[in-house]
């Protein structure tokens, strides 16, 4: 690597989706060498997501193991990344989000005194157990970072409350909106086999704190929801973790109103968001993406590190209690007024230009002696919501 090398590290599917626009933005900058390092924390899902954006890794540690422990994974990531940083230190390392890959990368950079940039910095619930282990991971990454790219003003304030130096924090928006808008404009194709008529619910469930009884409660609520609304169809791309996959197929497998699929490629997921009526999820990404497409989100968690969507009224925390899920979903499916109040077609997470802001800030940090175009007033730019996109066939409740 050279003194102008930016090393982008990704380990999971969400990281790949959110890092892809940054990689492309950086590669458009003259004088920067951009390398993409994969830890393989999610093997097949990672490769699938990168392919959606025409990317492949330059370095692949291929660390995925069956039923891997968190400590074992972190140890392997540190052992894999540290020799690379020692042999050929880059000018700056970027990682996104709150996974074990991000936390371990931040520690490795700190040990080697290599500048580290944290994308999507400052998300907090204030509870180390929810989400677990992500809340801890992002705290570590934020404290080790020399550049913190906060998606919102609230995230910036969270970092400042923790004593992070203000000059390291930049509000940029969230790059997932960049990725979403790019893919959605292309009118991606729906997954095969879905009914063309009726209302569609898109559902995901994969977080560790959802394993066991909470997941059982959610899946029970889905069965009850289908019984209450015979015109409803549920699309559930099932995470490959056995704790999720086995239970999903045991409870919902063979149900005539439910389609269980393998994880979708990102274009197909965006198409499903455009087609659906509402979203049930414990995913952070869908909390950010679906509101920009005018889709109400019921968050299957008790707390969220993305409170802006809840405050804006486009997402609602419903937890995992079946009665609460059924009541909230039922209201949206029967009340046009309640639906319209949530289906605003805006997102508080950016305007589709976050990756360009980040690329500008990275270039300035690496080449401070050169004149570099300054980012255009990030705070002012983010005050303007993204343009609503066509909502395809996801009609409001009738």
Residue 206 designated active-site: yes
Nearest Cα neighbor of 60 from 114, 110, 16, 119 is 16
Residue 354: its H or E element: helix 354-366
Q: Quick one: tokens of 211? A: 């394993």
Catalytic, out of 13, 42, 170, 239: 239
Q: Quick one: tokens of 332? A: 């949206």
Dihedrals phi, psi of 119, to nearest 5 degrees: -90, 135
Catalytic, out of 15, 120, 308, 351: 120
Catalytic, out of 208, 223, 255, 367: 208
Residue 115, C-beta contacts closer than 8 angstroms, at least 6 positions apart: 91, 92, 93, 109, 146, 147, 365
Catalytic, out of 15, 134, 282, 351: 134
Q: Is-contact 236 158, C-beta < 8 A?
A: no
- Distance set, CA 210 to CA 213, 291, 295 (Å): 8, 23, 23
Nearest Cα neighbor of 158 from 120, 131, 192 is 120
Catalytic, out of 206, 233, 353, 357: 206
Catalytic, out of 29, 35, 42, 98: 98
Residue 120 designated active-site: yes
Residue 198, C-beta contacts closer than 8 angstroms, at least 6 positions apart: 231, 232, 233
Residue 134 designated active-site: yes
Backbone conformation region of residue 122, classed left if phi is above 0, alpha if psi is from -120 to 50, else beta = left
Residue 288 designated active-site: no
Which residues are part of the catalytic machinery? Answer: 98, 120, 134, 206, 208, 239
């Amino acid at each position: 690597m050279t003194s102008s090398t930016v090393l982008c590290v990704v380990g999971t599917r969400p990281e790949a989706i959110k890092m892809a626009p940054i990689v492309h933005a950086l590669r458009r900058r003259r004088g920067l060498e951009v390398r993409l390092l994969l830890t393989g924390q999610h093997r097949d899902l990672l490769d699938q997501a990168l392919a959606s954006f025409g990317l492949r890794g330059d370095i692949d540690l291929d660390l995925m193991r069956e039923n891997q422990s968190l400590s074992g994974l972190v140890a392997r990531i540190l052992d894999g990344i540290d020799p690379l940083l020692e042999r050929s230190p880059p000018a700056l390392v970027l990682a996104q989000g709150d996974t074990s890959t991000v936390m371990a990368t931040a520690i490795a950079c700190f040990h080697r005194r290599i500048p580290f940039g944290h994308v999507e910095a400052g998300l907090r619930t204030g509870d180390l157990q929810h989400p677990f282990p992500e809340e801890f991971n992002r705290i570590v990454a934020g404290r080790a970072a020399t550049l913190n790219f906060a998606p919102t003003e609230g995230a910036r304030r969270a970092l400042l409350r923790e004593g992070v130096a203000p000059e390291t924090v930049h509000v940029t928006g969230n790059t997932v909106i960049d990725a979403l808008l790019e893919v959605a404009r292309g009118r991606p194709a729906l997954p095969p086999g879905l009914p063309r008529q009726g209302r569609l619910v898109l559902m995901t469930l994969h977080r560790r704190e959802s394993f066991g009884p909470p997941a059982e409660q959610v899946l029970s609520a889905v069965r009850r929801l289908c019984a209450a609304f015979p015109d409803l169809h549920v699309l559930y791309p099932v995470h490959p973790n056995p704790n999720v996959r086995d239970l999903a197929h045991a409870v919902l497998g063979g149900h005539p109103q439910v389609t269980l699929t393998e994880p979708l490629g990102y274009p197909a997921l965006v198409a499903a968001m455009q087609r659906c009526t509402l979203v049930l999820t414990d995913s952070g990404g869908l909390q950010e993406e679906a509101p920009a497409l005018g889709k109400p989100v019921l968050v299957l968690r008790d707390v969220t590190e993305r409170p802006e969507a809840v405050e804006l009224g486009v997402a609602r925390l419903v937890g995992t209690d079946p009665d609460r899920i059924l009541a909230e979903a039922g209201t949206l499916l029967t009340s046009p007024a309640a639906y319209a109040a949530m289906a605003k077609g805006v997102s508080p997470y950016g305007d589709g230009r976050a990756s360009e802001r980040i690329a500008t800030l990275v270039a300035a940090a690496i080449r401070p002696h050169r004149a570099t175009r300054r980012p255009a007033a990030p705070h002012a730019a983010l005050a303007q919501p993204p343009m609503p996109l066509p909502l395809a066939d996801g009609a409001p409740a009738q």
